[in-house]
Amino acid sequence: MNNTATAQPATGVPTPLLADWRDYFALLKPRVMTLVIFTAACAMVAAPGSLHPFLAFTGILCIAVAAGAAGALNQWYEADIDALMKRTAKRPLPAGKLQKPEALAFGVILGIGSVAIMGLALNWVAAAWLAVSILFYVVVYTAWLKRRTPQNIVIGGAAGAFPVICGWAAVAGETPMLAWILFAIIFLWTPPHFWALALFMEADYAKAGVPMLPVTHGLKETRRQILAYSALLVPVTIAPPLLGLTGWAYGGTAITLGVIFMVMAWNVYRSSATLAADMVAEKKLFKFSLLYLACLFGALVADVLLLP
Amino acid sequence: MNIDPATWTADERAAFMARRASRNRAIGILLVAMVALFFGITVVRMSGQVSAPTTATAS
């Protein structure tokens, strides 16, 4: 009974409860994991070389579990500010469903396990990149940058981009230029995506004292930065066909999606809404940015699979 | 702090038992999955069908 967690329900009466498996699953940030799995799987398909289906499954599993481990360690470190924000207050730690040492142990075990299995089952290049991705997210982004600089999202975006490198390295054992272009796409996609969210969640971040760009530099500067990063992102997405690394099936999709993305970023730039409820363009950009990345990587896979 | 099982109400005991059963099932499933994963990895690697990387061009 030593590991009995004591949940603190709204009534204020402590109730002895063991943490449920769902609480541990929530620590993994399953929604973030979905995007990681998708981009890593696309990179594995696009990478040259062949891999036994079972090992491919193992590679994706390791990348997903590593992302989950990073999410668990992120929640372990940020339990104090998660409790202050409406969006995160129901997570297992701030809700009292889990204790911090449990979350720490869970994250460390999953992280070490995923790296070890990736190395033993596939190759140690992929395992090394997987370890880098976990450490980058937890140490560089969560512990170092997030509470110190409004550029947290920019540099932290690399953490979300590493799974592509891991996926590519799992198949090919190396990371050539196309892998790094895919990395750059996710890296440059992250600021417009998260800043669009931060615009209509600005009050939450301000309450928690997180120096997100809308909090430190205002809404107008954030909108300008969204447009600037979008203008950097679109040319990078078109680079693969220009360099002869993919066909124009992907290229055409990238151009079409890029035009739509730029129009939406421009609408955000032109917006002057100050209340979250009025931020229609920002919410549209946030939602579209998810679809944008999925379609872009889907087009890459289609290009590689369908065209000679 | 009500962590002494002797002081639990019937509802608290039932909630605790249900969670412990659920957690035990989850751990059991995970252990079986780990065994299957390691068995599969071993079989594939011993069969020599790991990977055959080619030159680094995607198209």
Contacts of B3 in chain A (CB under 8 A): 1, 4, 6, 16
Predicted confidence (pLDDT) at residue A7 exceeds the cutoff of 60:
no
For residue A59, what are the contacts with CB-CB under 8 A and spacing of at least 6?
Answer: A40, A44, A51, A118, A121, A122, A126, A166, A167, A170, A171
Which residue among A13, A48, A54 places its CB closest to the CB of B53? A48
Q: What is the mean pLDDT of residues A110-121?
A: 96
DSSP string over B1-46: ----GGG--HHHHHHHHHHHHHHHHHHHHHHHHHHHHHHHHHHHHH
Distance (Å) from the C-alpha of residue B7 to the closest C-alpha of chain A?
Answer: 10
Partner-chain contact B53 A171, CB within 8 Å: yes
Predicted confidence (pLDDT) at residue A13 exceeds the cutoff of 80:
no
Most confident stretch, A140-144, A202-206, A221-225: A221-225
Q: Which residue on chain A is closest to B3 by alpha carbon?
A: A16
Task: Specify the higher pLDDT residue, A81 or A257.
Answer: A257
Q: Does A307 touch chain B (CB under 8 A)?
A: yes
Percent of chain A with pLDDT over 70: 94
Interface A–B counts its CB contacts (< 8 A) at 100
| Predicted pLDDT of residue A212 | 84
Q: Say if CB A22 and CB B24 are below 8 A apart.
A: no
Contacts of A24 in chain B (CB under 8 A): 26
Distance (Å) from the C-alpha of residue B58 to the closest C-alpha of chain A?
Answer: 6
What is the DSSP-derived secondary structure letter of residue A149?
Answer: -
Distance (Å) from the C-alpha of residue A55 to the closest C-alpha of chain B?
Answer: 7
Q: Does A280 touch chain B (CB under 8 A)?
A: no
Q: Does B9 touch chain A (CB under 8 A)?
A: no
Predicted confidence (pLDDT) at residue A293 exceeds the cutoff of 70:
yes
Contacts of B53 in chain A (CB under 8 A): 48-49, 171-174
| Predicted pLDDT of residue A267 | 96
Cα distance from N-terminal residue to C-terminal residue, chain B: 63
Predicted confidence (pLDDT) at residue A133 exceeds the cutoff of 70:
yes
Q: Among A125-129, A144-148, A182-186, A234-238, which is the least confidently predicted range?
A: A144-148
Q: Which long-range contacts (CB under 8 A, 24 or more apart) does A278-287 make?
A: A279/A199, A279/A200, A282/A196, A282/A199, A282/A200, A283/A196, A283/A200, A285/A192, A285/A196, A285/A226, A286/A193, A286/A196, A286/A197, A286/A200
Contacts of B2 in chain A (CB under 8 A): 6, 13-16
